[in-house]
């Protein structure tokens, strides 16, 4: 019968400490990698937005017929990168300082300028002073990212003579 009792050997203690450290590193590492991947997705969207240029090129209010209603038409161009644009928000600034947000009815093709929005029956006088656009893109992983608003341009008015 053994009468001499001893504690854990140094080898067993060292192995247990190493296993605990490896488990802790694995738990912390998986959390950190998850955070890095999520941050990378946000950086990817911001990177695309910074190279994409969707700009309003023309905002014209036209009167249709003598004493007729006014129509506003907005054209825009897309350049910089051929990103997938999900939608374009059109912000129409009224003369009184308020604004109206609409969704573009068309998206310009890469390196082209085309009409993206038209609104008729504005009443007896034009009320829009300016316009800007806000594109929303879809990244490669399927996430939607709203880019920053473009610079505002002035709307012109063309009455029928």
- Res 68: pLDDT: 59
Q: How far apart are CA 46 and CA 64, in angstroms?
A: 42
Residue 72 maps to a domain: yes
Q: Is residue 32 part of a domain?
A: no
* 64 or 109, higher pLDDT: 109
User: Sign (positive/negative) of CA torsion 111, 78, 102, 91?
Assistant: negative
Provide the number of structural domains found in the chain.
Answer: 1
Give domain status of residue 128, yes or no.
yes
Which tens digits make up the pLDDT trace of 116-147?
888 776 666 667 888 999 999 888 778 888 89
Sequential DSSP letters for 65-79: STT--EEEEEEEEEE
Q: Yes or no: say if 14 and 22 are a contact pair by the CB < 8 Å rule.
A: no
Tell whether 42 is covered by a domain.
no
Classify residue 81 as exposed, middle or buried by CB count within 10 Å of its CB (0-12, 13-18, 19+). Answer: middle
CATH number (domain holding residue 136): 2.60.40
Each residue's pLDDT tens digit, 9-30: 888 888 899 999 999 999 998 8
pLDDT band at 3 (very low <50, low <70, confident <90, very high): low
Please tell me the pTM assigned to this model.
0.66
pLDDT value for 135? 92
* pLDDT for the residue 61: 81
Does some domain include residue 33? no
Tell me whether residue 76 is in a domain.
yes
- Once rounded to an integer, what is the mean pLDDT over residues 86-101? 88
Please check whether residue 92 lies inside any domain of the structure. Answer: yes
The pLDDT of residue 101 is above 80: yes
pLDDT tens digit sequence for 25-72 = 999 988 888 877 765 555 567 788 888 888 898 888 887 665 556 777
* Per-residue model confidence (pLDDT) at position 40: 56
CA 42 to chain CA centroid, nearest Å: 10
Q: What is the pLDDT of residue 11?
A: 83
Residue 64 lies in domain: 52-158
Strand partners, 110: 78
- H or E segment to which residue 58 belongs: strand 53-63
pLDDT of 98 strictly over 90: no
């Amino acid at each position: 019968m053994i009468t001499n009792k001893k504690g854990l050997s140094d080898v067993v203690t060292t192995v247990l400490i190493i296993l605990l450290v490896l488990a802790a590193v694995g738990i912390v590492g998986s959390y950190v990698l998850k955070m890095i991947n999520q941050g990378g997705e946000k950086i990817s969207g911001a990177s695309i937005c910074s190279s994409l240029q969707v700009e309003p090129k023309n905002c014209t209010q036209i009167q249709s017929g003598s004493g007729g209603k006014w129509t506003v038409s907005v054209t825009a161009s897309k350049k910089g990168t051929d990103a997938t644009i999900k939608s374009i928000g059109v912000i129409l600034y009224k003369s009184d300082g308020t604004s109206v947000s609409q969704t573009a009815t068309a998206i310009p093709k890469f390196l082209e300028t085309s009409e993206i929005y038209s609104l008729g029956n504005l009443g007896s006088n034009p009320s829009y002073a300016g316009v800007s656009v806000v594109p929303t893109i879809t990244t490669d992983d399927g996430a939607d990212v709203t880019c920053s608003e473009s610079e505002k341009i002035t709307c012109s008015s063309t009455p029928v003579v």
